[in-house]
Amino acid sequence: MKNITRSLALLLVICIHPVISKAQQTSPRQDKFYTMSGFGFSVPVGEISANARPKFSTSVGVNFGLGDGGLFLYPKISLHVFGFDNPIREMENSYYLEKGRATTYLLNVALGYRKIINKFAFYGFVGGGGGFILTPRVMVDQETNIATLNNKTNYTGIIEPGIGVEYNLGGANMFFESSFMHGFSKLGNQAFNTVPLTIGIKPNLSRLFNKK
């Protein structure tokens, strides 16, 4: 009976040894969680480029790793500022406006994939969301000749695919990112399409999730 017990114990050790070894060799994911902040500018493309010009952009978000592979969830908020000429007279007492400013406030939630090669990482993502775009307009009171400048709120949904590259600085990654943003609503009678270009920093906070 003792020999049978010893044999079964030995067989059990032999069977589970590869599983234990694999578990010991599996290291925690090193890109589990990043915060990100960046700045740059956004280049209008298509018909909107006739009336909009890039000024500056800023964005904040997070990268949250999904599973043990390269997948990550990427929510971010983007603010893009454009020089803007409003070509539309929306009311009888409104006027055409040149050299104004349009500003976006947009949320995008994307799914991405990151491939790490030494100190570099390359990633792509695609997502959607929405928000609003403020466009300028000027109203003139014909009796008092007083002009009032205000903003029109344009709500829109968006889709945004993009790519990026990161360089590991130790506790943070420096990154450059480019994407194509398409709005489903028009500004006036023009489709909203733009190419954001962003450079910034992603502090790596993965150790907070990998603590045992």
77 versus 11: the higher-pLDDT residue is: 77
Per-residue confidence (pLDDT) for residue 89, from 0 to 100: 56
- The whole-number average pLDDT for the span 136-141 is 78
Please state, in angstroms and rounded to a whole number, the distance separating the CA atoms of residues 173 and 119.
9
Residue at 92: amino acid letter: E
Q: At 94, is the pLDDT very low, low, confident or very high (cuts 50, 70, 90)?
A: low
Q: What is the CATH number of domain 29-210?
A: 2.40.160.20
- The whole-number average pLDDT for the span 193-207 is 93
186 versus 58: the higher-pLDDT residue is: 58
Per-residue confidence (pLDDT) for residue 17, from 0 to 100: 43
- Furthest-apart CA pair in the chain: how many Å? 110
Closest-CA residue to 101 (of 134, 141, 62): 134
Please state, in angstroms and rounded to a whole number, the distance separating the CA atoms of residues 44 and 55.
11
Mean pLDDT score of the chain, rounded to an integer?
83
Percent of the chain scored above 90 by pLDDT? 56
Predicted TM-score (pTM) of the model is 0.77
Per-residue confidence (pLDDT) for residue 88, from 0 to 100: 59
- Within 10 A of 134 (CB to CB), how many other CB atoms are there? 16
72, 112 in Cβ contact below 8 A?
yes
Per-residue confidence (pLDDT) for residue 118, from 0 to 100: 92
Model confidence at 98: pLDDT above 60: yes
Span of 86-100, 142-156, 195-209 with lowest mean pLDDT = 86-100
Coil, strand or helix at 48: helix
Span of 86-90, 148-152, 167-171, 188-192 with lowest mean pLDDT = 86-90
Please state, in angstroms and rounded to a whole number, the distance separating the CA atoms of residues 7 and 1.
10
Model confidence at 125: pLDDT above 80: yes
- For the chain, state the CA radius of gyration: 26
Per-residue confidence (pLDDT) for residue 92, from 0 to 100: 56
Give me 131's structure tokens.
């928000």
Per-residue confidence (pLDDT) for residue 67, from 0 to 100: 87
Per-residue confidence (pLDDT) for residue 90, from 0 to 100: 56
Is the torsion defined by CA of 91, 93, 97, 100 positive or negative?
A: negative
- The whole-number average pLDDT for the span 37-57 is 93
